[in-house]
Structure 1
């Protein structure tokens, strides 16, 4: 809305009521500039004579008296000037001599030679020089003149150069601006709410007869404003003004960008001067666009770990060079130095971890201290897949489980049958879980849902097969039912459930934000020892007894020995006869031990990472209380992280003081961090080198779970109905939705002032918060 519209819509009466127009020779005559005195020769025309008389006058305020205005004949009706026009059009300047009105601002601008009116361009002479008195068409002509460019220009010029007029209208302007700021605040807070909740702002498309227009009236944004208008009556009228464009998509994008940039500036200020770790992952959204998410992990001065999502960035290709250039561009825009990077955490894809030209290798060339860690979550997922594929009985069982979940979950009819049997047979059992190969922590739950609903599923197949006429589907159902009757399938899901429960617990524990790579390695070692302890005859005996107990309650055949097969000659070594299991229990014991050995081996191989060795050495230096071990590792650590540390002797001295200053020995990183957090500012300065070492360890994450969570947010934001959203708008909404606490903490005054300051007309419209 322009400044003119608000000036003309005010309800304040402008000018002194009853004040007469100054006459020639009055005290106001001295105020006229000499170069503006009218010098035209008078003519006989009454209109030109009136123009000549008015040329010598510059009034201070509109003359708006309360009089008994004379009536004029317009056809069969008598019409006169109406008093209510003063409040609706405060610029009216009444002339008693000729019973006509002028525009106060256009008159002053003309007499002072301001704007386009001085050059007789785009001006209305009836409201500037002659006078308007056609009361029949008064409202139409008043509205037309009020919206004219010449009138707007006159107001701008008079308001900028006539301080007295500004002071006269100051109170009305202040109230108008305050009201407009209140409406703007409602708009901004509504956009912030929708962005925080991840809801769409725009509406869907409505198809008309010949055109397709956006259904803005059905959008969440407009409907939210209408709901808020019930408690703010002025908002609805303000939104109905034709000049108001502050609900348009362009304004929405501008406000979203202001909020998102405020969040990024906040993150950049918190990261300034601190060491950090880069975490990157890629995914494809619903519009088939390759999206890269960049996250930064850092440790603040209170030794608290933070993981911040910087945003989504579309990639033309997933090559290492493209990803590295994008990372460098983002860091440059945030004014974050690459030499402060101390870690990298990605998945094991070749473009990320390639030893020659991968992203990790290229960044290490830029900063040698930026150690690369293969995300423990991805590494554990790959190790588990390798182990499951290596044991045939477990691989076949998982394939059958996947087929079971498809048959049930993708058929509402069979799902209803299953739910009915579940409620009758095993009402307390969990629902059926879909087996997802790429999820980190759901495999054990999927196998548990099959094992707990074993009997209900077998009853489901009998009914579903009779109710199905399709030959192929009957065969699939019959094949699954036959597999569930075999002991090998029952044994496979039971053994997989037992092992995957341990692995899923490890994966779930490492996804916490405060878990570092060193903490994750200790959890891996604990899991490794737990799996090793299960490789005993006693543990297998307990597991076998559990199977026998469970088999009695379901329809599963008895275990049998496999048929003996002759070993191929190329595998024969020596003259001894091949060894075969003598009992059924011995056969399945061999499978049990083979599965445990394989999963232990795959986990060990996946977690032997080159970059972790230096982190492990640094942790050993911190937690060791013996002088010889300290001296051996400190030199390597200080040389590698130079110039982070001043001198080996300085770090050694502080570590000796740290371990001797408390009665309780601090032999693990957690106890050291707890002790350092309890210190005051002066004491932390005293242990500055130790705190640097602790930050280097804490800044390296165990998993890149924050990137995976951001992809879940992306699926909520970019749905099938929002696939056409632009990349910039998607990124802004992503930041508001992910950083909910920072979005709530955004200052309304700062957002409003930044939005207003981007345009001079907004400054005149809203003022300042």
Structure 2
């Protein structure tokens, strides 16, 4: 009987005849639960009687891999009763750490392991290997996928999504243009000639190459001797040390922005990490120090802005002053409350002003709030000093802001009001006015001459007094109070 006639004879018979034929065999007894798997028995019988065996090179390699991802006792217990076939057994125990890795992966999550998702996901399941579900396989033209093929082809896997067979090792080492798409992307489902196709596939050069890659990857993972992994661990160790060292640098910068090198030298006497890194990996250039300070500033500012946005409504306080470089610097303070109505006043920073007119200062305020991503319409209060550029009823900052945000109530700074009242009061009382006049004259007499300032310091030392320096009297500056 030819092979084609033999296949027709087996698969066109009714199930009762097949059961009766199987029951006549003295070696085994077929039950009702085995009727579904009769095709497996027939195909395996033909396969084991065939004259052409499996590819020896691929079979030996895959048999050796059975100790990596398969336990023969548990696998046999989970499989349905079918015809007796050669069983692969191993005596090599699996490492404990490998069991931990396997247990951390959801083996039953078919949606992740299913080969129908494509070849790119095969690398995620290196140790688990092929996806071989124990299900009732769908029938196509009276033929279906046989579960026992998994024993014969260790690389074989089945997709519950596409109802097709795939090659795990080829998916693992997938290369477009070189890997066979029928076993990596499209899948295979021509079951009548499946065994011949499987034998032909595993004999290809691309499959053998992919199998070698997978075997080496598993061995490297087991032996923990992967060069890339060792380099990665060394890199992570070096990165961890560098981060710890950078933390010490940041702490030092926060503690003392000046004289950083001298302070690091001092700290290296009792800090081995700084001592070992200071000469080779310094991070002490002034540009790095400035960058660290800038990053710290940005981090603090972002946290303040987050709190302001959480509160939604806020008030602003602005003032301008001339610094030592004769530059006009405008300061901004924002006042807000939390959900418990605790009041917070946060200093935002300084901005250099090109002009001190009401229009220029107002544009500076609007631009500043946009940079902070704060809505100007949420301003409910504004507080400035009594300068005309701030509180002018026609072109002042407060007037311009009220035109846009009517709810931004203007409040004249109480501190400035108190200071102006005290200045006017001191001018009205003659003894106080004369006292301030004498102090101003003394300041002009001593501080305008370096020699007289030196004599003033010597007199303080001889008298056992704490050395102090005189400050100029100013009606509108807090530094002279």
What interval of TM-score do these two structures reach, taking the shorter chain for normalisation?
A: 0.3 to 0.5
Task: Choose 1 or 2 for highest CA Rg.
Answer: 2
1 or 2 for the larger relative contact order (CA 8 Å, sep ≥6)?
A: 1
